[in-house]
Every structure is written in C-alpha cells, then in structure tokens.
Chain A
Amino acid sequence: MLGFLGSRLLQSLLVLLAASFITFTLVFLLPADPARMVAGPSASVQTVTSIRHEMGLDRPFLGQYGAYLGRLVQGDLGRSYKQNTPVSTLLASRIGPTLQLMLGAIALELLIGLPLGIWAALSRGRWPDTVVMGLAFLGAAAPQFWLALSLVYLLAYRFNLFPLGGYGGLSHLFLPALTLGIGGAGWYARMMRSQLLEVLSQDYIRTARAKGQTARGVLIGHALRNATLPIATMIGLDIGTFMGGVVVVESVFGWPGLGRLVWDAIRVIDIPIIVGVVIFSAFVITLSNLLADFVQPLIDPRVRYR
C-alpha cells in the first residue's frame, strides 16, 4: 500500500511538472509582448528592450522555462502587469472568500443531494424516484450563469429574501453557494441512490432483517453508513469542479474571491494573474485527488490497493 501511495505521489509530481510546462508554453506563445505590457503603450523601444532583458525574455525557451520552474517551486507566480503586485500575494488575499464559498456549496449539495437520493432509493420506481432523478438531471445541465441570474431575480429582487450580492455573512453566502452547489446536489442524489440500492441488496442487510431488526433500524444502523462512505471520499474532488464555476458565480454575485480576481484580470488582460490561478487550481486539484487516495482506505476499510 505504501508503494502504491508513493507511486501516486510521484505521478502527481509528474502531472504538475507537465502542467507547468503547458502553462509556460502558453504564455511563451502569447502574441502580445509581456515587456510591452509592463512598460505601457507609450514607452520607448529602449525601455521595452531593457525591461525584456530584465525579465529574462530574451533568453532561449528552455532557459526561460527553467527559471520559471525555479520561481514556481518557491511559490513565485510572477507579478501582475497592471497592479505591479506579486500574483501570489493577490492569490493569498482571495483564497479565504473562495474557500468559504466552496465549503458553503459542499454543505448545501450534501444537505440537498443526500436526503433526496435516499428518498429516491427508498421509493424506487415510484413517482418520488422519477421526480428526484429528473431534477438531478436538470440540475446538472443548468448553465450556472443563468441559474445565478434566476436566483438573484427570484429570491433577491422579487422576494427580497437575500442580498443581491457582495461579501458578508451567511445571508450573502447562501445564493452564490446554492448556485455553485445545485449541479453537485444532483450528482450526489444520483450517487446516494445507486449506492443505497446496491447496499440494500447485500446479504448482510437481509440477515439483519431476518434477525428481527426493523426496516428503519437496518437503514440507519447498516445501510446508510455503508452507502455514504464511498461518497464521503469524493467530496474533495468537488473542489476541482468548483474552480471553473467560481469565476462565473463570483462575477455575478460580486464575491471577492479567486474567481472574481480572474474575471477582473480577463477584462484588463492581466495574463500573469490568469495563468497564476490556472496553475494554482491544477495544483489544488492534483492535491485533492491525491488526498482522496490517501483518505479512502482510512474511511472505508473495504478499499484495498494492489
């Protein structure tokens, strides 16, 4: 097992190395000249040339990549063109709000998805099952930006239940977290349903029933626990799917996190910020995949690695 985890660790490092190479190549192939962007449109050719030399942009491709990788390992993601601040500082100041948003979304998708999935499984083939599975399918296909606008219109404008946007307490968090979590809620409902049906068909459930355990007792004491275990290990993977949605959701709700940072950077074409968030999210995703592999055998002893 240690061998397996070791090789997974090595694999993750390789993926990150390749990912850094891809992002670097992208920026290298960029049609716009970074030195010109830093210097501004009115700077003289000499200034641009000296800035280019200072930034090391006149060196060959692999030399530049080596230098980039060296800085990356130390957590240096470059400087913003427009704000002249290190990208890592900007990222660090935005992680908190985004983390809050993601935790809120995870809480909501579990609170909505799991009970609905249990209900669907227990009423298999009857109308609640059909309705829940239909909703789960719709939720997964709904465009997030439209969902966001609809929720703002209905729950904020029409019924004044929540603030229109901005950063603040739980009432500010609810709508953006719901937008981010609805698709996942559908996914968890489907997962919960299929897991529970699978567990309920096992022999030990029949044994428990045969020994006189009530249906409710079997469900709570045996079935639910075993059905939720595999689901619990997948929560970490949500962070990856959330990374993209965060840009849309934060831009609609004015939530000051990483997504909003990207959106603001898009509008002024501040490439280092955009690329910084890209490489950061690749790092987070690889890390959460790895973490899921480590945690899985701890939570669920049935999982064994070859």
Chain B
Amino acid sequence: MTSPIISIKNVTKRYPGVVAVDDVSFDIMPNEFFALLGPSGCGKTTLLRMIAGLETSGTGDIIVDGQNMEGVPANKRPVNMVFQSYAVFPHMTVRNNVGYGLKVTGVAADEIAPRVEEALEMVQMGAMADRKPDQLSGGQRQRVALARALVKRPKVLLLDEPLSALDAKLREHMQLELARLQQVIGITFIIVTHDQDEALSMADRIAVMEKGGVRQIAGPEELYEKPHSRLVADFIGKINLIDATVSGTSKAGVTCLAKGLGRVVVPHEGTASGSVSLAVRPEKLTLSDKAPSSDTDISARGVIRDVAYYGDVSNVFVTCADGLELAVNVQNDRAAAGLLENGREVYASWHPSDTLILEE
C-alpha cells in the first residue's frame, strides 16, 4: 500500500470571530488529482494556503511526503502554487518569470535555461518566452504561472481557483489541458474551486467543504450519485429535494409519506427515521402526457410552469399537488416536441432506485 503524499490531520485555523478551517483530516495519494470544492468562504483556499505555508498559526499537522511542515516556511516546502490572480511578475519576461524559482534557489545557470525551455514547451508557451506579462492574454499568463510552478518539480502542485478568471470556452479547454498535464507529469495536483463542473470533470477525488469542515470526500461519480447530505447533493449538480416522513422500514425499502407524492417505497441501505429528504436528479425524471403504465415508478401529476431551453436539453419546472416543485431535464428529441408547453398537464415519473434518502 502506498503512503499518502499529503496527510492533513486535525487542521484548524481560526480568525478573530470565525473558524476558517474546522478540524479537517484527510489523506491525498501520490499522483492524485484532488479537488477542494465549496462555496466561497468555506475555508478551501485557507486550507490550500496552509499547505503552501502562506497561512500560518493554525493548529494540527500537515505532512507532505512524510515530513511534518510545522515550522517549515513557504520557501522551503516541496509544494508550489498557481495563484488565482496568477501573480506573474509584471517586471520580468516570461522566461525570467519561469526561471525565477530556480535562480533564487541557486540552480546553476546552464541548468536553468533548458529546464525553463522544457517547462514553457510543456504549456505551449515556448514562442512567447521573451514577452512581458502585459503582452499576454489571461490564458497565456496562466500558462506562465503553471510553467513557473512546474519548473520547480514540486511534489504537489497547488492550484487556487485557476480557471475562474477565464471565459467559458477557454475554461473548458484548460480543464482538459490541466488533466492532461497532470497525467503527463505524474505529480499530485490539488485544486481549489467553487465550480462543481470543474471539480467533477478533472478530479479523481473531491472534498466538499462547507463552513470550514469537510462534508464528504469521494470520487466524482459517487459524489454525484450517492451524496451523503442535502448540502452535498444540492451543491453538486441540481437535485430535487422532497420533504418526507419515514413511516416504516421493510425488506423492499423505506416507506415514506412524501409531500405531493403520498406513500412511496424507496430502496435504501441501512435505516432511516423521522423527517428526511427524498432526492432525485432532474435527468432521472421522465415527462409524459399519460399516466405511467408501470406501477412501480414513483410519479406525480402536475402542470408545466416554466421551460428553460438550452439547445440540447430543456429544464422543465413542474408544479404538482401540495405545492411540490419538480425540475426535470428533458432531452430535446422528437418525443419531447410538442410536450413542453407552459400550462400543459403532465406526469413526472422516475424509478424508485434513483431516489436517495438524505437524513442530514
């Protein structure tokens, strides 16, 4: 069994009046693409900066490659960071920016030049080596920041919201590019992001953070399909949360009395009781103008309130009995044509096994 490249143990960081990072513990494995995901102010950036050594005076242990980072200053840690603002030095050329980290640590000049070239080639910035940062676009500056960190051959690369300043098209491109780079270089990447798509598409594992604490750590698929809590379910993608009360547990699953649905039986591992939420993803629902033939499906009759058209799919909002609102993702294929009109009466239905019972 391989040992973790980074161990976070009971790390806590308090600011006057707030706990930024609240007793967080987890391990990151070598060569992993790890994402810290959460809304702004959840402590993810603080945690990243603590790993980098830029944020001090926290408690707990941060162990990088077997070495406790306690008391090790930022400039002596085997990690490098790509800053949200890129922080590419405006008074140096691209080449000098990338070479800076080698020069200041006393790497011989004849070794610096080829390593800088190599790093710049890696991010396809070789042709721009003699430019100044103000002659570069945002995306190019980010590549320089990447090369500048990677040229140091860190054990772990830290990325603080690296794509937030890029436009949508470029962001998508850079997501693929980052994932490719990580595979080529084979080092651990830790990325901080508030964008769930970014985390889902790039990361091997994702830690969802909220109010300084880690709520769930899992792979993208597990996080999406089996969230542990309402918070995680709601933060990762869109989800319908339906208030329900558990009335009994049997072999077939948990029987609940759900708002707008009545009595439903949902397969569930373990037990559940009291007030819960039934969670179902919008794309698991199907719309039909006839009542579903299968009586095992959960279904609700309602009226289309709103249709948001996105080209390939439409987000349809259906108002059902009891004020239950359901969001449904509909593929805009031939079956959907003519069905999606405001005010039309429809049946929204889904398979019970697509339903999650969330207690938290």
Tell whether A and B belong to one assembly.
no
Residues of B within 8 A of A (CB): none
Residues of A within 8 A of B (CB): none
